Structure 1
Amino acid sequence: MAGTADELIDVHAHFVTDSYVASARAAGHAHPDGMPGWPSWSTEEHLRLMDEHHIRTSLLSISSPGTHFGDDAAARALTRQVNEHAAELVRAHPGRFGHFASLPLPDVDGSLAELAYALDELGSDGVTIETNAHGRYPGDPHFEPLWAELDRRGTAVFVHPTSPVHPETVAVGRPRPMLEFIFDSTRAVSDLVLSGVVNRFPGVRWIFTHGGGTLPLLIDRIELFRTAFPSGHQDGGRSVREQVSELWFDIAGTPFPRQVPALEEAFGSRRILYGSDCCWTPADAVARQIASIDAAIQPGPATWRSLTSANARRLFPRLDRLG
């Protein structure tokens, strides 16, 4: 059963568990990505926020710093734990939650095993990765077996930004989500395109965050370097803009009045999705973000609510069948 026109589908929503936070703290992430601390999260609080803002379904994921803190075996165990917890939430609240399964990258073998378990046993809606895995960006040949399997399965991959390597040299003491997350998303997309991953694995449905970061402003510059300084790119001769237009983007953060119009102008509106970034974005900031979305004018009969939700249902057809 399709949702009503003013219901939102949130593809960028996070959860944490006490055991996950304890593992991250023990690995040195007391102030993850330079943030003051860890957010609180509960099912009840999340559902309350969803009801207040008419969010029909939230697709949950673990945010940065992910689940791999240096040891493959520990990462595999922690990844399995958070994925099973999320699957239980989905089963307990049918129609309200979905789930992007975490993968223990850069451990490719562990990620292939967890991918199969998450999709075949847990029924996850896709997987989540970070823009880099301990400094390895998605164009790295190390990840090719994983991209091949994701391509074979036609899997949705939610790519969440994280800190670059040695972030203290560029973040100058400020929280890295403010700028470095945005730049790392742009870096990851450019690496996917210029390494030929987007072209070689067309079945992967990549989702990037925060309105595409700086991509709308830099897309022509990346294309300039692709054509003026060729270096064996495996892009099939397709322009950067053509390839990036095949990606999906959520509008978490500060979408209006400037970011989404730039994104729409650059790549169109058929692959724009809603994202709250809850629980890392506080509830009052989510309220302000949604107010800006509701106040923005979308050309044509659609509202931004109806447009993003229709896009999400095309990307995830099961959401259109929920009662």
Structure 2
Amino acid sequence: DTEVLSLSTPNVYFVEGKLQAEVARLANDAYAELAAKHRGRFLGFASIPMDDPDAALLELRRAIDELHMQGVVVLSNIRGRALADPVYRPFFEEADRRKVCVFVHPMIPAAAEAFTEYVLGPIVGFPFDTTLAIAKLCFAGVFKQLPNIRWLVGHAGGAIPYLMERMDSGWRDFAECRVNIDEPPSFYLKKLYYDTVTFSPHNLRMLRDIVGADHMAMGSDYPHLLGSIEKAVSSIEGMDFSAAEKGRIQSGTALSIMNNVPQTARR
């Protein structure tokens, strides 16, 4: 079996400036070395120093062209700043030009004080912030204007699948929501890819019904306490999906959207 590794929250954003770029390089080099040492066993998404637009572009190119990594990981907010902020546009334009797989992993929301009790940060804050990040990217026109990025959204998209109809209603009812996009949000959101870190059969079935098995990729969220490799596997195997659908979710979708996939991972 092959695992795709990525540096989880807070990724490299616990440091600033040049140190952020250095930490990203160290993490990416470590993943690349691990993948080279255990060929076919590990792949990796690169961390990007998003605080520095120039450094972000350099590391994107190095990760894809030199380290031959399978994509990049960004968090649902970058130290409180939305992914839809124009400061990140040059990075996403380059990712679009290169048809990069961009994995959006959840982060604690910017208003973190509301999530300090009962471990609400990872329990509900993560999917809330994922929902906000994807909604802003959609209404800002990023998915429309940069259609070649292969977006992989963590935690089954948060509440995005559940809220697609409501977002479509907002697009029809509010002129502000139509400024940057010509089609209802669901038109763009159904083109994204979603991991299966929910493990709920009801949620997985809804996700399959909305976006299709070919836009779902198995995820584990391991080693987070809420994650589980065992549940990642059993939650898919236990569904009443067809064998072809399960195959797409277990490996087919990921193999089709990632960059630089080695032949050893396709066996």
TM-score in terms of structure 2 length = 0.92
Does structure 1 retain, via aligned residues, the 8 Å contact 2:108–2:129? Answer: yes
What residue in structure 1 maps to residue 253 of structure 2? 311
Amino acid of the residue matched to residue 269 of structure 1? A
Q: Encode CA deviations 1:23-54: one digit per residue, 9 max, x unaligned.
A: xxxxxxxxxxxxxxxxxxxxxxxxxxxxxxxx
1:206 aligned counterpart, secondary structure? strand
Amino acid of the residue matched to residue 80 of structure 2? G
1:179 aligned counterpart, secondary structure? helix
Counterparts of 1:168 and 1:244, CA distance in 2: 30
Amino acid of the residue matched to residue 200 of structure 2? F
The correspondence of residues 79-90 of structure 1 with structure 2, limited to 5 A, is: 79-90=24-35
Counterparts of 2:222 and 2:84, CA distance in 1: 29
Amino acid of the residue matched to residue 278 of structure 1? Y
Does structure 1 retain, via aligned residues, the 8 Å contact 2:35–2:42? Answer: yes
What residue in structure 1 maps to residue 238 of structure 2? 295
Counterparts of 1:287 and 1:308, CA distance in 2: 13
What residue in structure 2 maps to residue 21 of structure 1? none
Percent of pairs with identical residues:
30
- The answer as to 2:89 corresponding to 1:144 is yes
Deviation at 1:174, TM superposition (A): 1.6
2:223 aligned counterpart, secondary structure? coil
Provide the alpha-carbon RMSD of the alignment.
Answer: 2.0
Counterparts of 2:243 and 2:120, CA distance in 1: 39
1:86 aligned counterpart, secondary structure? helix
TM-score in terms of structure 1 length = 0.77
The correspondence of residues 252-267 of structure 1 with structure 2, limited to 5 A, is: 252=197, 254-267=198-211
Does structure 1 retain, via aligned residues, the 8 Å contact 2:194–2:217? Answer: yes
1:112 aligned counterpart, secondary structure? helix
CA radius of gyration, larger in? 1
- The answer as to 2:121 corresponding to 1:167 is no
Does structure 2 retain, via aligned residues, the 8 Å contact 1:79–1:104? Answer: yes
Counterparts of 1:182 and 1:213, CA distance in 2: 4
Is the deviation greater in 64-73 or in 153-162? 64-73
Give the direction of change, closer, same or farther, for the CA distance of 1:307–1:127 in structure 2 (3 Å limit).
Answer: closer
Unaligned stretches of 5+ residues in structure 1 = 1-55
1:278 to 222, 231, 250: 222
Does structure 1 retain, via aligned residues, the 8 Å contact 2:53–2:90? Answer: yes
Deviation at 1:108, TM superposition (A): 1.6
Unaligned stretches of 5+ residues in structure 2 = none
The correspondence of residues 206-285 of structure 1 with structure 2, limited to 5 A, is: 206-231=151-176, 233-252=178-197, 254-281=198-225, 285=228
Structure possessing the higher relative contact order (Cα contacts under 8 Å, 6 or more residues apart)? 1
Does structure 2 retain, via aligned residues, the 8 Å contact 1:192–1:198? Answer: yes
Deviation at 1:319, TM superposition (A): 4.2
Question: How many pairs does the alignment contain?
Answer: 265
Does structure 1 retain, via aligned residues, the 8 Å contact 2:154–2:194? Answer: yes
Q: Encode CA deviations 1:189-225: one digit per residue, 9 max, x unaligned.
A: 1011000000011111110012221112111111211
What residue in structure 2 maps to residue 198 of structure 1? 143
Give the direction of change, closer, same or farther, for the CA distance of 1:96–1:172 in structure 2 (3 Å limit).
Answer: same
Counterparts of 1:67 and 1:222, CA distance in 2: 32
Does structure 2 retain, via aligned residues, the 8 Å contact 1:216–1:266? Answer: yes
1:176 aligned counterpart, secondary structure? helix
Is the deviation greater in 214-223 or in 150-159? 214-223
- The answer as to 2:67 corresponding to 1:125 is no
Does structure 1 retain, via aligned residues, the 8 Å contact 2:70–2:261? Answer: no
- 1 or 2, which has the higher helix percentage? 2
Amino acid of the residue matched to residue 217 of structure 2? L
